[in-house]
Amino acid sequence: LAVTPQRLSIIAALLNSTAHPRAEEIFAQVRDLHPHISLATVHRTLETLCRIGEARKVTVLHDSARYDANLTPHQHVVCVRCRRIRDLEIGGLERLLGGNPALEGYQTLGWSLEIQALCDDCRAPTTERRAARHQGNRGHGRRGAAAQE
């Protein structure tokens, strides 16, 4: 992989992000420094980094590819609404997989664990709407009395 200013900027953008950015997000960031860079160059560079083991592709919930510069063993939690990804480290997975008879006949090279959830920000509006509805029902006949119980 030839070292170019554009590639160095792509690598820096990836390394400085914990948000598992899409190629388009890296492109927008790098374009400020290199106005003539193309999205195709960013895609090719990211794919090359993945191929040589310097980055990893995270494709969640049938979404577009996201990229991760964290190569240490870890898992992900993904918000199913906003698609935010956060790294997790769940201990003991090596032991769980190490002697698992279901893997007999295979040499484990790695694994990917993705936990699908709702983040606090995406849950908040629903909770706030529920609380407001509960407050609005107070003192309004039998239904409001039941809501208070």
Average pLDDT, the chain: 82
Give pLDDT tens digits for 42-76: 999 999 999 999 998 887 666 678 899 988 888 88
Whether 18 contacts 83, CB under 8 Å: no
**Inter-axis angle of helices 39-51 and 5-15, nearest 10:** 70
> pLDDT > 90: what percent of the chain?
40
Max Cα-Cα span within the chain: 74
Contacts by 11-15, CB closer than 8 A, 24 or more apart = 11/45, 11/49, 11/54, 11/69, 14/46, 14/49, 14/55, 14/67, 14/69, 15/69
Give pLDDT tens digits for 121-147: 998 866 564 565 555 544 444 333 333
CB neighbour list of residue 117: distance below 8 Å, 6 or more residues apart: 77, 78, 79, 80
Take residue 134 and report the two structure tokens written for it: 């509960």
**Rounded to the nearest 10 degrees, how much is the dihedral formed by the CA atoms of 137, 142, 145, 147?**
-50
Report the pLDDT averaged over residues 98-107: 83
Round the CA-based radius of gyration of the chain to a whole number and report it: 22
Q: Which string of DSSP letters, residue by residue, matches 67-112? A: EE---SS-EEEEETTT--EEEE--TTHHHHHHT-GGGTT-------
Give the Cα separation of 85 and 4 in Å (integer): 29
